[in-house]
Chain A
Amino acid sequence: MAKRVSLSGNEAAAFAMKQIDPDVVAAYPITPSTEIPQYFSQFVANGEVNSEFVAVESEHSAMSACIGASAAGARTMTATSSQGLALMWEMLYIAASMRLPIVMTVANRALSGPINIHNDHSDSMGARDSGWIQLYSESAQEAYDNIIQAIRIAEDPRVSLPVMVCMDGFITSHALETLEVLEDEEVKKFIGEYNPDDFLLNADHPIAMGPLDLQSYYFEHKRQEQDAMDNAKQVILEIAEEYEKLTGRKYSHFEKYALDDADIAVVVLNSTAGTAKVVVDDLRSQGIKAGLLKPRTFRPIPGKEIFDALKNVKAVAVMDKADSFGAYGPLFTDIRNIMFDNKDIKIVNYIYGLGGRDVGTKDIEMVYNDLMDIVKTGKVYEVKKYLGVREKGGEEVWQL
């Protein structure tokens, strides 16, 4: 029986971890995900879980210890943000290439420099190509649900890849929310036992992991990572369906909000989607056909599904809370690429909210207004724009 509780995003993540009762958690504190290892170590101290908590001396060691534990055959979890994720960077690729089903919560935070503790997506976007599955979460509820499903996705033999569950730092990690959680027994049953085929602690069958892998095999092994990502697309949907039967909450690769008949649409990740929904409702009440697409699965990117979902839209704004200097935002790059064969659609990119700069309904309204202009004139003057920033020269000084 599901029950309603009031939890912050970090509490929800820690609570999910408690219900999962993983074998090993190795983690290191960093704002805004610090509370997750704090809560978890308390669960260990109270005997509420049977896990080993390894209080490592850095995030590089956190991911290294997770790799050791997971390779040894343990169900393994961790959490981090920003610099912590950046420090793990080397090990992220290794975890994925070793096909270790580690599940990590990321409370998204801007990357230094300059140092800043607030939310944007530059941390997880920097790990985009590491071979980790990335699931994004609008709310604490979604983070909780994603973490539980992530265990199944990661451990599915067709996938066998690590999963990163992202939520917005502070906005989601620290805000109290009422959400529905499962009973411990339900979670236990849903995730099942973890019994890998090959693991270091298999006394009957010792194995070598992480050998030098040169021209003769490396490429095939990398190709297999791609196959696993492809398989993940189907597995994510299957597990979402099973989870829906258990909880009544529907998950897919993305959420469509008023999208089916929309002329204009915004694509945006995580909590900003919540703000955008308010704007969509408002525009719809004025008879404007506005819609929203909120990706949940960013890696693997569900290209065909997104293509179908956006194919009748006339103009799309992809909002990126991360920049690629000298290029376009990472989400935009993918979406425009996916839509390439649809010549009727106009797509623009907005970089917004870097370093936690607030983005409200007014800002998003402006984006939809721009899209209406594009539809009206059929012209795009600027593909990449910045939302809510004081521009050089002061022509456009925003009230901040």
Chain B
Amino acid sequence: MATLRDIAKKPELLSGGHRLCAGCGAPVTVRRVLSAVPEDTHVVVANATGCLEVSTTVYPYSAWRTSYIHSAFENAGATISGVEAAYKVLKRRGKINEKFKFIAFGGDGGTYDIGLQSLSGALERGHDFVYVCYDNGAYMNTGIQRSSATPLYADTTTSPAGDVIPGKSQLRKELADIAVAHNIPYVAQSTPAHWKDLYEKAEKAINVDGPAVLNVLAICPRGWRTETAEDMEITRLAVDTCVWPMFEVVEGKWKLTYKPRKKLPVEEYLKKQGRFKHMFQPGNEHLIEEFQKQVDKRWEEILARCGEI
């Protein structure tokens, strides 16, 4: 296992100078994942339209030191399928000898919603690639609209908290479960605040032969209305409140990779974010209760799947 020092010595495949916001969870996620690529392996990245794409590629600049392709919003899965198919045949025909790995990055909108079909197709066909969803829980690039990854009650610009409706009315969709249902060799959830966990999972995802999916919680200080300096603390709170469980599913077998020493109440996580502010108004206690209930239910499910209870 690499130490932080080993990782720091590797060349950074996403350079500085990109235009993502300070404190954005996306670039740290990308860096950590790419740092797990073996040095003898070249990378082609496919990227769905979204904050990461618009902020890292403004022509004539590119922050990517890998080969990189963006074509549209809903098709990172299909695009990387084509690249991977090209690699297979060009290798077979002796036109390419180097080792390559294929990594797609998409936001939650580009993954859970508009790109779900394309991702599902690519997973089912079994292309050898890693799909990384940097999940910031909304369409941030277009101004914080709800997605199916947006948490219950979150205030977004299309699920606004109003006098009658208290933010998003629906639960999040579980991307990891959907990915697992494709019978692929590796699925995991992590966060960039748990760098070692994310690094190890990225390494496994890269080494596995076939499709792998990493779902990574990537804080968006702008959309979540959080203090940039508290980024990593808030991300860790997501895990310690069990709002964002960290696990991996290897060949269909679930394994919990992190169990909070003490499961914190969801308020600890929610209260630091402007998007949940309305939940703390007097008379809205039931919202927090319901949120806790849903988190507990999912956590129990995961514990059971992982053989922890």
The answer to whether B82 and A69 touch across the interface, beta carbons within 8 angstroms, is yes
Q: Contact flags (1/0) for B83-120 with A, using CB distance below 8 Å?
A: 11111111011011010100000000000000001101
**Which residue from A61, A200, A216 sits with its C-beta under 8 Å from B81?**
A61
> Which residues A162-215 have CB closer than 8 A to chain B?
200-203, 206-214
The answer to whether B62 and A211 touch across the interface, beta carbons within 8 angstroms, is yes
CB distance from A135 to the nearest CB of B (A): 24
CB distance from A62 to the nearest CB of B (A): 8
The answer to whether B70 and A211 touch across the interface, beta carbons within 8 angstroms, is yes
The answer to whether B93 and A67 touch across the interface, beta carbons within 8 angstroms, is no
Q: Contact flags (1/0) for A211-242 with B, using CB distance below 8 Å?
A: 11110110000000000000000000000000
A58→B115 CA distance, assembly (Å)? 12
The answer to whether A57 and B121 touch across the interface, beta carbons within 8 angstroms, is yes
The answer to whether B81 and A54 touch across the interface, beta carbons within 8 angstroms, is yes
Q: Which residue of B lies closest to A200 (CB)?
A: B67
| Contact partners of B120 in chain A: CB under 8 A | 57
B257 within 8 A of A: no
| Contact partners of A258 in chain B: CB under 8 A | none
| Contact partners of A84 in chain B: CB under 8 A | none
| Contact partners of A91 in chain B: CB under 8 A | 71-72, 75
The answer to whether B125 and A210 touch across the interface, beta carbons within 8 angstroms, is no
**Which residue from A54, A98, A206, A216 sits with its C-beta under 8 Å from B67?**
A206
| Contact partners of B88 in chain A: CB under 8 A | 52
The answer to whether B83 and A69 touch across the interface, beta carbons within 8 angstroms, is yes
A330 within 8 A of B: no
Q: Which residue of B lies closest to A68 (CB)?
A: B82
CB distance from B184 to the nearest CB of A (A): 15
The answer to whether A65 and B78 touch across the interface, beta carbons within 8 angstroms, is yes
Q: Contact flags (1/0) for A36-67 with B, using CB distance below 8 Å?
A: 00000000000000111011111011101111
Most buried by B among A51, A74, A98, A214: A74
A72→B86 CA distance, assembly (Å)? 6
The answer to whether A23 and B93 touch across the interface, beta carbons within 8 angstroms, is yes
The answer to whether A72 and B124 touch across the interface, beta carbons within 8 angstroms, is no
The answer to whether A64 and B100 touch across the interface, beta carbons within 8 angstroms, is no
CB distance from A61 to the nearest CB of B (A): 4
The answer to whether A201 and B69 touch across the interface, beta carbons within 8 angstroms, is no
B305 within 8 A of A: no
Known: A61-B78, A64-B82. A210 touches B93 (CB 8 A): no
How many pairs of A and B residues are in contact by the CB < 8 Å rule? 172
A319 within 8 A of B: no
| Contact partners of A68 in chain B: CB under 8 A | 46, 69, 71, 78-86
A309 within 8 A of B: no
Q: Contact flags (1/0) for A282-315 with B, using CB distance below 8 Å?
A: 0000000000000000000000000000000000
A341→B60 CA distance, assembly (Å)? 42
**Which residue from B59, B74, B86, B118 sits with its C-beta under 8 Å from A74?**
B86
Known: A58-B121, A61-B117. A210 touches B71 (CB 8 A): yes
Q: Which residue of B lies closest to A51 (CB)?
A: B89
A74→B85 CA distance, assembly (Å)? 9
The answer to whether A50 and B67 touch across the interface, beta carbons within 8 angstroms, is no
| Contact partners of A74 in chain B: CB under 8 A | 82, 85-86, 89-90
The answer to whether B85 and A65 touch across the interface, beta carbons within 8 angstroms, is yes
**Which residue from B69, B78, B84 sits with its C-beta under 8 Å from A71?**
B69
The answer to whether A206 and B60 touch across the interface, beta carbons within 8 angstroms, is no
Q: Which residue of B lies closest to A193 (CB)?
A: B95
In the complex, how many residues of chain A place their beta carbon closer than 8 angstroms to a beta carbon of chain B? 45
A213→B57 CA distance, assembly (Å)? 8
A164→B154 CA distance, assembly (Å)? 47
The answer to whether A56 and B70 touch across the interface, beta carbons within 8 angstroms, is no
Known: A64-B118, A73-B86, A74-B90. A201 touches B44 (CB 8 A): yes
The answer to whether A206 and B42 touch across the interface, beta carbons within 8 angstroms, is yes
**Which residue from B42, B58, B85 sits with its C-beta under 8 Å from A211?**
B58
**Which residue from A61, A90, A200, A211 sits with its C-beta under 8 Å from B57?**
A211
A24 within 8 A of B: yes
B258 within 8 A of A: no
The answer to whether A200 and B44 touch across the interface, beta carbons within 8 angstroms, is yes
A69→B79 CA distance, assembly (Å)? 8
**Which residue from A50, A64, A94, A206 sits with its C-beta under 8 Å from B92?**
A50
CB distance from A332 to the nearest CB of B (A): 33
The answer to whether B85 and A54 touch across the interface, beta carbons within 8 angstroms, is yes
Known: A68-B69, A202-B67, A206-B42. A61 touches B75 (CB 8 A): yes
B53 within 8 A of A: yes
B170 within 8 A of A: no
The answer to whether B67 and A67 touch across the interface, beta carbons within 8 angstroms, is no
B68 within 8 A of A: yes
CB distance from A93 to the nearest CB of B (A): 10
The answer to whether B59 and A217 touch across the interface, beta carbons within 8 angstroms, is yes
B66 within 8 A of A: yes
B286 within 8 A of A: no
A250→B5 CA distance, assembly (Å)? 68
Known: A24-B86, A201-B44, A210-B71. A50 touches B93 (CB 8 A): yes
Q: Which residue of B lies closest to A71 (CB)?
A: B69
| Contact partners of A64 in chain B: CB under 8 A | 71-72, 75, 78-79, 81-82, 118
Besides the known contacts A52-B89, A72-B86, 13 further A-B residue pairs in the complex with CB atoms under 8 A apart:
A52-B85, A54-B82, A55-B125, A56-B125, A58-B121, A61-B75, A61-B81, A65-B85, A68-B86, A72-B82, A74-B89, A200-B44, A206-B64
27 contacts between A and B (CB under 8 A): A50-B93, A52-B89, A57-B118, A57-B121, A60-B74, A61-B117, A64-B75, A64-B118, A65-B82, A66-B82, A68-B81, A68-B82, A68-B86, A69-B85, A70-B86, A71-B82, A72-B82, A73-B90, A98-B71, A201-B86, A201-B90, A203-B100, A206-B64, A210-B71, A212-B58, A216-B59, A217-B59
The 8 lowest CB-CB distance pairs between A and B, nearest first, are: A68-B82, A57-B121, A211-B57, A65-B82, A72-B86, A61-B78, A74-B86, A64-B78
